[in-house]
Amino acid sequence: MTTIETDRQAEVPSAAHLVGEILDDAGRLIRQQVDMLRAEVREDVRRTLSAVKYMGAGAVVAAVGALFLAVSLVPLLGWLAPSLPTWACWMIVGGCFLLAGIAAALAGRSIMRSFNPLPDKTLTALQENVSWITGPRN
């Protein structure tokens, strides 16, 4: 064997070394994707909590307001329309508050549907990489 051939063999990494580097890179890639997944989940949880806070606050405020208004609007409606029986006044006021509550619930649902709380992109990429690493070799 000549000196040139020996130098070339010293420069060429072994197959085991190359496989080791590939596995290290794959492990690093998976760790990075797991970190991305965590960050994405954190952001989506933050958005979900924000929407839920507004929905909950809206429901509580609407309930308190509905209670006070219902109590005060029934006599007002009876005064404005003396021919209406008291039960009809209660039904009219209750129906109006029911419609307002439904509108608030639909608005909250619309906010929740405006984004996907699951990190689909990162999760799909992570699954592809894991299946590539653990898949059969030819």
Is 44 domain-assigned? yes
- Residue 10: per-residue pLDDT: 59
Read off φ and ψ for residue 7, nearest 5 degrees: -65, -40
Q: Please tell me whether the overall predicted TM-score, pTM, comes out greater than 0.75 for this model.
A: no
10-residue mean pLDDT profile of the chain (138 residues): values are 58 80 86 87 87 91 84 91 92 89 92 76 76 70
Is 127 domain-assigned? yes
- Residue 25: per-residue pLDDT: 86
Is 7 domain-assigned? no
- Residue 7: per-residue pLDDT: 56
Q: How many alpha carbons lie under 13 Å from residue 71 in its C-beta half-sphere?
A: 5
Is 137 domain-assigned? no
- Residue 80: per-residue pLDDT: 93
Count of domains forming the chain: 1
- Residue 124: per-residue pLDDT: 79
Is 34 domain-assigned? yes
Is 29 domain-assigned? yes
- Residue 85: per-residue pLDDT: 94
Is 96 domain-assigned? yes
Domain that holds residue 126: 17-131
Is 10 domain-assigned? no
